Structure 1
Amino acid sequence: MKIAVTGKGGVGKTFISGILAYRYAATGFTTIAIDADSSPNLALVLGMTETELEKIVPVAENQLLIEEKTMTGYPGVYKLAFSVDDIVRHQAVLTPSMVSLLVMGTVQAVGSGCACAANSLVRNLVGHLITRSDEVVIMDMEAGIEHLGRGTAENVDMMLIVTDANKASLVTAGRIVKLARGGGIPRMAVVANRVRNKEQEEKIKDAASLLGVPVPVIIPYDEAILDAGTRGVAPVFMDTPATRAIECLRTWIEEVTTS
């Protein structure tokens, strides 16, 4: 199972990605979570400390790894094809939630000059995980629609488009649906997050209906989750209305992808 979680920045993608990954791991699945956001914080949701997060070297910032995999010995010339299996084994970090985390990082962090080698490494690695891995792979994608332009979300089994009732979030969700449909993504769902009332719920459902995409769950605005974030507490082990809704989302994904 390969799931990409997308949406406008600030709508709760990372929270949903983390809880969903934990819920899969808790039910016995080998789970890999990929933090593909340019501001990686998925580790914190999965139970790691800020100090532990700072020690993780993102794939795109690992200059030794990039050179080992892509360099040919000739300036400006790099390999387009290489094995990435060992990167998954050695770079993934096991989190307290029993989810293996892989932080992709941003190619801009590699340094000045051409980032072609870093781009190639990230693209090959993501392609391997999406098209060949037998585990549950959950990708917390970069905010917006850039990831669709780069093709990093190709061949996923399910794309979740997270949105709240904000107009800008709904507009971004619509753009993602149209691009994903044009790219051949087989299954999509709009995930309504931080919903405070029936009016907001209906607003999101109406927008999704116009796009022809289901809304399998309504994740309510949850003060307990907000408070946990303020206190720096990982929400994965919490039992709240929001986390229970995400478990319902996991069950729905299982049903539609195995039917």
Structure 2
Amino acid sequence: MKLLVCGKGGSGKSTITALIAKSLARRGYRVLVVDGDESNLSLHRLLGVEKPKELKDLFGSRREIFEKAKNLGIRRIEEIPEEFVARKDRIRLVCVGKIHSFGEGCACPMGALLREFLKGLKLNENEFVIVDAEAGIEHFGRGVEEGCDAVIFVLDPTYESRVMAERIKSMNIDKKMYFVLNKFDERFSDFLSDLDVVAKIPFSEKIFLACLKGEELKCDIEEVEKLVDTILNQEHARGSFLQY
């Protein structure tokens, strides 16, 4: 199945993406992590791999991405060219593309490429795709979620996160939504009482230091394991694994 991880900037999307990927890999799943955030530069370090070549480099220009993305031709994980994949154990990482220079233009071509890549990708029963989306909600306007089975929305205890979560609920997106509160503190127990939060992940000094230093996350977080259990159980019940 394919999971889209989103949220406001600084909420911990990349951290949660990496922790979920590692949890699934320990359970025997093959996991493809897709770096779909054109601004964040640290996801590969949290996974403990080198940054691969960017998928947008398959095209000669930004215009060609729009023209050719629908015919990318990648239908299975193993069809992704080797130089565009970083590997560690059962986890693979691909990076759609980053903004590298001043005046380069908007990120719309990368959004289009991400959307078509996800829509065209078919999975085997033991495979997962986890997408670390760009901050905010613009990717919903681009239809990136169309190629995914469910959405994990990561919130931190801020007013902006709550407003963004409420905005997403009002959009009536036709996908299962999992709301996850990151950096949880008991003082915020009533923060999102009406949003059906499925996991409250506490602040961890070990995670904080790893993110600060740009090091691989090597810790098991009980609430992350419970989150993965919840997703697996609910998606099995919904039949999301049967479509591949």
| C-alpha contact (below 8 Å) 2:42/2:214 kept by paired residues | no
Opposite residue 188 of structure 2, the aligned amino acid is: Q
Opposite residue 219 of structure 2, the aligned amino acid is: M
Q: CA deviation at 1:153?
A: 1.2
Q: Cα 1:165–1:95, aligned 2, differ >3 Å: closer, same or farther? A: same
Q: Distance in 1 between matches of 2:215 and 2:106?
A: 39
**TM-score (normalizing by structure 2):** 0.82
Matching residue of 1:18: 18
Matched, 1:225 2:207: yes
Opposite residue 90 of structure 1, the aligned amino acid is: E
Q: Distance in 2 between matches of 1:119 and 1:231?
A: 29
Deviates more, 1:16-25 or 1:148-157: 148-157
Q: Distance in 2 between matches of 1:203 and 1:157?
A: 27
Q: Distance in 1 between matches of 2:151 and 2:98?
A: 21
| C-alpha contact (below 8 Å) 2:5/2:153 kept by paired residues | yes
Q: Structure 2: which 5+ runs fail to align?
A: 238-244
Structure 1 counterpart SS, 2:232: helix
Match of 1:238 among 215, 219, 242: 219
| C-alpha contact (below 8 Å) 1:22/1:97 kept by paired residues | no
**What CA deviation, in whole Å up to 9, does each residue of 1:65-94 have, x standing for no partner?**
2149x96xxxxx944642124762435423
Matching residue of 1:41: 42
**What CA deviation, in whole Å up to 9, does each residue of 1:73-121 have, x standing for no partner?**
xxxx944642124762435423335311011114786985898876654
Q: Cα 1:93–1:207, aligned 2, differ >3 Å: closer, same or farther? A: same
Matching residue of 1:201: 189
1:13-92 matches, within 5 Å, as 13-38=13-38, 39-48=40-49, 52-53=50-51, 56-60=52-56, 62=57, 65-67=58-60, 78-79=67-68, 81-82=70-71, 83-85=73-75, 88-92=80-84
Matched, 1:257 2:235: yes
Higher strand share: 2
Q: CA deviation at 1:247?
A: 1.1
Opposite residue 4 of structure 2, the aligned amino acid is: A
Q: Distance in 2 between matches of 1:10 and 1:133?
A: 30
Q: Distance in 1 between matches of 2:201 and 2:142?
A: 29
Matched, 1:166 2:158: yes
Matching residue of 1:8: 8
Matching residue of 2:91: 99
Matching residue of 1:215: 197
- Identity across the alignment (%): 30
Q: CA deviation at 1:31?
A: 0.7
Structure 2 counterpart SS, 1:252: helix
| C-alpha contact (below 8 Å) 1:3/1:157 kept by paired residues | yes
Q: Cα 1:164–1:189, aligned 2, differ >3 Å: closer, same or farther? A: same
**TM-score (normalizing by structure 1):** 0.77
Q: Distance in 2 between matches of 1:99 and 1:227?
A: 22
**What CA deviation, in whole Å up to 9, does each residue of 1:153-175 have, x standing for no partner?**
11422211110211011111222
Structure 2 counterpart SS, 1:6: strand
Structure 2 counterpart SS, 1:184: coil
Q: CA deviation at 1:40?
A: 3.5
| C-alpha contact (below 8 Å) 2:111/2:142 kept by paired residues | no
Matching residue of 1:211: none
Higher helix share: 1
